[in-house]
Structure 1
Amino acid sequence: MPYVSASRLLITGFTLLGLVFGIPQRGQAQQASPTLPAGPLIIGAYAQGSFILAHTPAVKHLAVSHPTGFELNLQRQTNGSAPWHAWYRYPKIGLALVYYDYHNPTLGQSYAATVYINKSFWRTARQEVNFRLGTGVGYFPNAFNQETNHKNNIISSHLNATIQMRLEYDVALSERVGLLMGVGLNHYSNGATTKPNFGINLPSVMLGLNYHQQRAFQALPITDADKPTDIGRNFINLSTSLGFKQRDEADRRKYLVNSVSVIGGRRINRKSNLLVGLEGFYDHSLSAELRDTASAGEKLPDVKKGGVLVGHELLFGRLAFVTHLGIYVYNPYKSNKFYYERIGLKYQFTDLLFGAVDLKVHRGSADVIEWKVGVKL
């Protein structure tokens, strides 16, 4: 699945952001304040106009229409009840429902629900400029089907991950109503779980209205009392993961992909962990691939792989946005490039236990979505 650089910034990410507000933070220095009122709400309704980006020649036959869409969203201004609100200068957290009509019978329509973070870069009493990143789940009724919809090589499954990136300008029309103008990108893909899956990229413009419960917001100052107690400390993450992938359009079976990881890390400031580690992979689809292509009696190479990685975690309370860059140091069967990348989300359920959802890629093409569980020591 080729994908644009915007979708590399964030994977199925921010789907756990709601948990950040619902579960108290760890440590005395990260306890929520019970005296702060809830942040004001913003309700929005926007129309969208788009085109389908032909990011590979294989999808040019579908990049001929101009999809139109409509979005309803609800967002809340963070209020300082969690320390990370101040670290990121009080962003908004939102939920959006998005409908698209692709004006093409092969693609049909799509329906999506996303969560997002909306960061203000410039704000006055009447105007603001925001940058929004979010993700969620999209549903396509007209997915690929070999018998009835074989031309749809963009979307091969009904359920897909969606990623949003958007620049917005909101200007007050009255005390509570604002005019919203924006440009952005919507991306849909299943991460190569089912093939064919080139994914769909929708550069978009939008126009709509926002209703502000309270337009002016007074940010609270950042204090040393909110400094996490584990800055400068080292830790070890032990984890295992599983995922499922399809080899190609001809083989509809789903093959298991496993990994194990030992990663050392250090928290260097309020927002960041740095990582270095070792991991191993076993992709069962490679064994099937070898069996289909090998000659009778030929000795088959080992399909297991081992790698070393460096990485970073961007922290939002218990939630972390994870990026890894790895190099295979044990790779007898050269089925891919010598390096790999990973982007995803990790959530620390307790001081010991965490879970994660990652997308592992090889040079811009999705390899597998990994569902991970582990312990932090």
Structure 2
Amino acid sequence: MISDAMRHYTRMLLGLCLVLPRLAVAQQGETGPAQAVVVGAYAQGAFIISHTPRVRHLVRAHPTGVELNFQRQTQGKQPWHAWHRYPRVGLALLYYDYHNATLGRSYGAGVYLSKPLWRTARQELNFRLGGGLGWFSQAFDQATNHKNTFVSSRLNALILARVEYDVALSDHLGLLAGLGLNHYSNGATTKPNLGINMPTLVLGLNMHNQRPFRPLDQLPAPEPADVGRLFLNLSSSLGYKQRNETDTRKYLVNSVTVAGGRRMNRKSNLLLGVEGFYDRSLQAELRDTADTSRPLPDVKKAGVFLGHELLFGRLAFVTHLGFYVYNPYKSNKFYYERIGLKYHLTDHLFGVLDLKVHRGAADVLEFKLGAKL
């Protein structure tokens, strides 16, 4: 059952949907073109992927949920708006009931970009990608909820991906249908952390205050001056992780990265780099499992990686694929991946939040600071 609070918020949003077009029309008549916005309310149905035998006992019911969101249309004030075909920037609020006493309910909030794949005066197909935070009413507890191997902490990172089709029912009202994937994980900061992957079916209504969309009447931005140029990134990261369910201590994880890159075009950077890792949880693992009569292997690791950055102004969506070239203690596969968000604080200083992954399993959530030369 959806809580009374969620019903109240839904009624508030639908009321806003009815009032918004009138306010926008009034604003347009008095002060010129209104800012294009979209307000939506959706119902969601989902199923949980049983990606390992350790979670099969939890995959018995189909979660259902409600989403409320607000989207603001970019109109060309920044060069990257036109380069990405004028995406929308959105805020989504999510509620899910898992119909399972072990999992309970979750509440989430996330920001996202919705990029048009196809757009006409009355129809549009969009892809949206974003992230945020999710809070669960039930989490793993050895004494009271030991069956919840999905989530070990109430607070989790949330990743949202979706393809959406919106068709106009009237000048301002649109019917939306979508297919998506919601992912919850705490990045191995607490274990067990097998994470929830939920394919979702979405159906709801959007209220547009401006349809069809009309971008600002201005000349397209020229190609960036640094296209084709080489650069150097130097960075260091800090993270922490829990080793397993029985050892509840948090262990520091550090890395140092040197990477060369090239701006390929308006939207992309390519990177090639080397990096070193020091995971202190591996020392504790060795002490528990290794033959202490022999010298213990070095737990430090080194790797080479190929990376890509999808650029949205100062923000970038980062993906890396790396291979260990120095790995005396083989605690994992020979390769690793990273996925994250990078933000340039200045032209030369940047910060990154990323998740390091081994074969689809979270290894550590990293906070990185670096310089671009």
Fold match (TM-score > 0.5):
yes
Pairing of 1:311-350 with structure 2 (within 5 A): 311-350=307-346
Q: What CA deviation, in whole Å up to 9, does each residue of 1:194-238 have, x standing for no partner?
A: 111111122221221111111111246895643211111111111
Structure 1 counterpart of 2:95: 99
1:46-77 CA distance string (max 9 Å, x none): 11111222122211111101111011100011
SS of 1:58's equivalent in the other structure is helix
For 1:249, the equivalent position in structure 2 comes to 245
Distance of 2:93 and 2:244 partners within structure 1: 32
Seen in structure 2, the aligned counterparts of structure 1 residues 202 and 213 have a Cα distance that, compared at 3 Å, is same
The aligned residue for residue 127 of structure 2 is 131
CA contact (8 A) 2:276 2:303 kept: yes
Aligned to 1:178: 174
* 1:172-211 pair list within 5 angstroms: 172-211=168-207
Say if 1:173 and 1:330 are closer, same or farther in 2 by CA, change over 3 A.
Answer: same
Kindly tell me: are residues 284 and 175 of structure 1, through their superposed partners in 2, closer, same or farther at Cα, counting changes over 3 Å? Answer: same
Q: CA deviation at 1:324?
A: 1.2
Q: CA RMSD in A?
A: 1.7
Maintained 8 Å contact 2:319/2:338:
yes
The aligned amino acid for 1:343 is I
- Conserved 8 A contact 1:86-1:221: no
Kindly provide the amino acid, as one letter, of the partner of residue 92 in structure 1: R
Counterpart Cα distance in 2 of 1:39 and 1:134: 22
Whole-angstrom distance in 2 between the partners of 1:166 and 1:40: 21
Letter of the structure 2 residue corresponding to residue 97 of structure 1: L
The ranges of structure 1 where at least 4 consecutive aligned residues each deviate by more than 2 angstroms after the TM superposition are: 36-39, 218-226, 294-298
Number of residue pairs matched by the alignment: 343
1:110 aligned partner, one-letter code:
S
Aligned partner of residue 290 in structure 1, secondary structure: helix
Query: Which residue number corresponds to residue 272 of structure 2?
Result: 276
Q: Which residue of 2 aligns with 1:285?
A: 281
2: CA distance between counterparts of 1:330 and 1:205?
A: 44
Amino acid at match of 1:344: G
Matched with 1:144 is 140
Q: Distance in 2 between matches of 1:329 and 1:360?
A: 17
For structure 1, which segment, 184-193 or 108-117, has the greater mean C-alpha deviation from structure 2 after superposition? 184-193
In structure 1, the gaps of 5 or more residues are 1-35
Equivalent residue number for residue 75 of structure 1: 71
Report the secondary structure of 2:228's partner residue.
Answer: coil
C-alpha distance in 2 between matches for 1:223 and 1:236: 32
User: Is contact 1:38–1:79 with CA below 8 Å preserved after alignment?
Assistant: no
TM norm structure 1:
0.87
1:61 aligns with 2:57: yes
SS of structure 1 residue aligned to 2:85:
coil
Q: 1:302 aligns with which of 278, 298, 306?
A: 298
Tell me if structure 2 keeps the 8 A contact 1:86–1:222. Answer: no
- Name the aligned partner's letter for residue 334 of structure 1: K
Measured after TM superposition, the shift of residue 298 of structure 1 is 2.2
Q: 1:359 to 1:220 in 2, by over 3 A?
A: same
Distance 1:202 1:224, change over 3 A: closer
Q: Within 2, Cα distance between the matches of 1:76 and 1:347?
A: 20
Q: Does the aligned pair in 1 maintain the 2:82–2:220 contact within 8 Å?
A: no
Q: Label 1:304 to 1:221 Cα distance change in 2 as closer, same or farther (>3 A).
A: farther
TM-score, normalised to structure 2's length?
0.88
* Corresponding residue number in structure 2 for 1:22: none
Stretch moving more, 339-348 or 223-232: 223-232
Q: Tell me, which stretches of 5 or more residues in structure 2 are unaligned?
A: 1-31
3-state SS of 1:278 partner: strand
Can you list the C-alpha shifts for 1:261-295, whole angstroms capped at 9, x where unaligned?
A: 11111111111111111111100001111111223
Distance 1:124 1:331, change over 3 A: same
Give the secondary structure class of the aligned counterpart of 2:57. Answer: coil
Equivalent residue for 1:42, pick from 38, 54, 69? 38
Q: Is the 8 A contact 1:87 1:222 kept in 2?
A: no
Q: Which has the higher contact order (CA 8 A, sep 6+)?
A: 1
SS in structure 2 at match of 1:226 = coil
